[in-house]
Amino acid sequence: MRTHAFCWIITLVLGTCLAGQSLAALSADEVARLGKDLTPLGAEKAGNADGTIPAWEGGITTPPAGYKVGDHHPDPYAGDKVLFTITAANMDQYKDKLTVGHLEMLKAYDTFKMNIYPTHRSAASPQRIYDATKTSAANAELVNGGDGVVKTVNGIPFPIPKSGIEVLWNHLLRYRGDIASRKIAQAPMTRGGSYTLVKFEDEFNLIYSQEGMTEEKLRNRILLFKQEVTAP
């Protein structure tokens, strides 16, 4: 039997009208680091000492050759070769790099393995998001004990976070495009291998990141979300 469930969700950003503690933005010297030793969004631009993580050099900013709008996104690193493979036999050698879940999977299934490829730092955002992040870095503030954030739009508010709650707001307000839709499926599986396939159709209107947006136009919203369950 086909069932439908529609759900509109509005995620709130608490505005300036709320009373409560206000925590200060970054200093001018800290903001100046963005785009220099830090990426425009606040990550370390340099690679790591042993060379396994490269420096960020701007990420992917143009479509791969042959890509047409509407195509599935091609793998930009299809030519990469496996550097090494982690199995149950050698997992102790890489234990400090693996999660508990990885270790348990390797122990439980003798066919489970992890092929390790070169690391790439391909992430990129539009320049307007970088510019907005720099503006937000100099102005954004937590309010109401961290339950809200003000003086920010488009960019992430805290590119050099000072607390866990600032990291959380960066995640909530990260750039994900302007609008998006997708058809997805989930297959919750029992240990015995049986499952029921659950299918969804989602639509997103990511108003916080849209060009020309202002705090006044946002009206305490981050995004609009609609979901339809199409099966079972």
- What's the mean per-residue pLDDT of the chain? 89
Residue 28 main-chain phi, psi, to 5 deg: -60, -40
Three-state secondary structure call for residue 29:
helix
Tokens representing residue 165 in the block: 């709650």
Pairing type for strands 141-143 and 148-150 reads antiparallel
Q: Distance (Å, rounded) from C-alpha 69 to C-alpha 198?
A: 28
Q: What would the pLDDT profile of 171-230 be if each residue is shown by its tens digit?
A: 999 999 999 999 999 998 888 889 999 999 999 999 999 999 999 999 999 999 999 999
Q: Where are the domains of the chain?
A: 6-42+126-231, 84-116
Q: What would the pLDDT profile of 15-63 be if each residue is shown by its tens digit?
A: 544 444 555 678 999 999 999 999 999 999 999 999 999 999 999 999 8
Q: What would the pLDDT profile of 113-144 be if each residue is shown by its tens digit?
A: 999 999 999 999 999 999 999 999 999 999 99
Three-state secondary structure call for residue 227:
strand
What is the per-residue pLDDT for 59?
96
Closest CA to 143 of 24, 25, 20: 20
Q: What would the pLDDT profile of 78-113 be if each residue is shown by its tens digit?
A: 999 999 999 999 999 999 999 999 999 999 999 999
